[in-house]
Amino acid sequence: MKDTGVSAALDLILREVKNIKAKRLVVDSFTAMAQAFKEPIDVRVVVHTVLNRIVRQMGCTSIIIEEVPFGESKIGLGVEEFVADSVLLLSTCEVDVLPLRELKLVKIRGTRLPQRKLIYTLEGGFRAFPPFKPKTVMEPKRFHPIPDPPEKYSTGSSDLDEILGGGVSKGSLMLLTLDEKVTTLQYHLLIDPMATNFVLQGRGLIDIPSCGVDPFMFRKYFYTYGGTEKDFNRYVRIIEARSMSEPKPLPNLITLDGKDWREDLEKVFKTGNQLRMETGHSILSIVGVDNIITTYGEEHCEEILNLTATGARRVDAAVVAIFRGGRKELSKIISSIADVHFHLTKENGCLLLNHIKPGHALYIVEMDVLKGYPTPKLTPMV
């Protein structure tokens, strides 16, 4: 190109665009092309020619790809972004030491940009994800349980089951840690299908709600999946520490004294054993760890969860422990107890699930309502 000059290169491009009546022109990479130009002004000439003659006169949308070296922020030679109609910046950052792809909308002329950063993946092609939004179920249907594979329990989500090789192992403890930015509705998108999958197969569920989650809220979520009041009262037991507030009119509410954790844990175990005998199946326990900390103190939390995990292993039950943000040291301790550890967080409004143990992978979480009830749709970050 140095020999023929920039005009010869442009003539070639213009001729080919005209001959084939191209609607798209991709220059990849313009960074390599620019290095062959003799003068910096040649860069501006090329960009100006592309915009005026190719884009506007020939009606050919042009995409110029440039590379930004690590540690630098300037795009190209500094003139391209000013004359372009749109500038998109693709970059990579880290979430819990895992790579996360970001798409920054630097500018799109004539367009209002309410969200300037998006998460994207190359799974199945290039796909960008807007911030997480709940979806409305247009035609509600009763949840269709997923059968359990041998020696495992289905999570009620085919995507989550695939990640776990079929589901959670019988007698295991799964830990779900939550970032402070994650809402109750968002983490229930992962928990509720598993709970419903148990109950609608005639198996028992013990729920110790997280702090701030009312037992009526769990019942509301359960009804979203087509569960009935009869199902809820027969198979679900809600555990709550005694409080100064008015007792809740729920026939399946078990109230704990909240003073001696050993006595209360024994009462929970008896409730679980009774439910197991009534149904003839092992049960699922969902435990809000912050509730345990608030009621009995952080110093007893590890021992309570250890005993809970041990009890589950003896009878092939399953435990899901939900741990809200903060207390990193305690989170590490609980993770060492758990057989499976997921961390749910948000970046640029996008809900992300980090599979920490076993394995290490990042997934983008969306809400899918095509079946007539909410389920998580998980897309790998690649």
Q: Tell me: the pLDDT tens digits for 225-271?
A: 999 999 999 999 999 987 645 556 788 999 999 999 999 999 999 99
Q: So what's the pLDDT on residue 7? A: 67
Residue 145 pLDDT: 97
Q: How far is CA 337 from the centre of its chain?
A: 23
As a whole number, mean pLDDT of residues 66-74 equals 75
**Structural domain boundaries in the chain:** 6-129, 152-380
Local structure of 374: helix, strand or coil: coil
Confidence of residue 77 (pLDDT cuts 50, 70, 90): low
- End-to-end C-alpha distance for the chain, whole angstroms: 36
* Chain CA centroid to CA 329, Å: 23
DSSP state letter for 348:
T
pLDDT at 325: 74
Question: For residue 244, which amino acid is it?
Answer: M
Mean pLDDT of 151-160: 98
Quick one: pLDDT at residue 76?
Answer: 65
Q: What value does the mean pLDDT of the chain take?
A: 89
Flag whether pLDDT at 1 surpasses 70: no
Those residues whose C-beta lies under 8 Å from the C-beta of residue 110, and which sit 6 or more positions away, are: none
Q: pLDDT for 277-301, tens place per residue?
A: 999 999 999 999 999 999 999 999 9
Omega of the bond leading into 29 within 30 degrees of 0 (cis): yes
Banded pLDDT at 116 (limits 50, 70, 90): very high
Tokens of 206: 């013990």
Answer whether residue 334 shows pLDDT above 50: yes
Contacts of 229 (CB under 8 A, 6+ apart): none
Q: Per DSSP, what are the bridge partners of residue 89?
A: 104
Least confident residue range of 64-73, 125-134, 360-369 = 64-73
- List residues bridging with 127 in a β-sheet: 121
Give the confidence band of 3 by pLDDT, cuts at 50, 70, 90.
very low
Distance between CA atoms of 9 and 289, rounded to whole angstroms? 66
In terms of pLDDT, which residue wins out, 59 or 282?
282
Contacts of 257 (CB under 8 A, 6+ apart): 241, 242, 263, 264
- Separation between Cα atoms, residue 8 and residue 229, nearest integer Å: 77
- CA atoms of 29 and 205, how far apart (whole Å): 57
CATH, domain range 6-129: 3.40.50.300
pLDDT of residue 241: 83
- Rounded to two decimals, the pTM is 0.89
Residue 5 has pLDDT above 60, yes or no: no
- The superfamily in CATH containing domain 152-380 is P-loop containing nucleotide triphosphate hydrolases (3.40.50.300)
Whether pLDDT at 4 is above 60? no
- CB 377, CB 127: distance < 8 Å: no
| Sheet order of strands, 205-208 included | 253-256, 236-241, 205-208, 284-288, 318-323, 172-178, 340-347, 350-357, 361-368, 375-380
DSSP strand E in the chain: where?
24-27, 61-64, 86-95, 98-108, 117-121, 127-129, 152-153, 168-169, 172-178, 205-208, 236-241, 253-256, 284-288, 318-323, 340-347, 350-357, 361-368, 375-380
Residues 334-360, mean pLDDT to the nearest whole number: 95
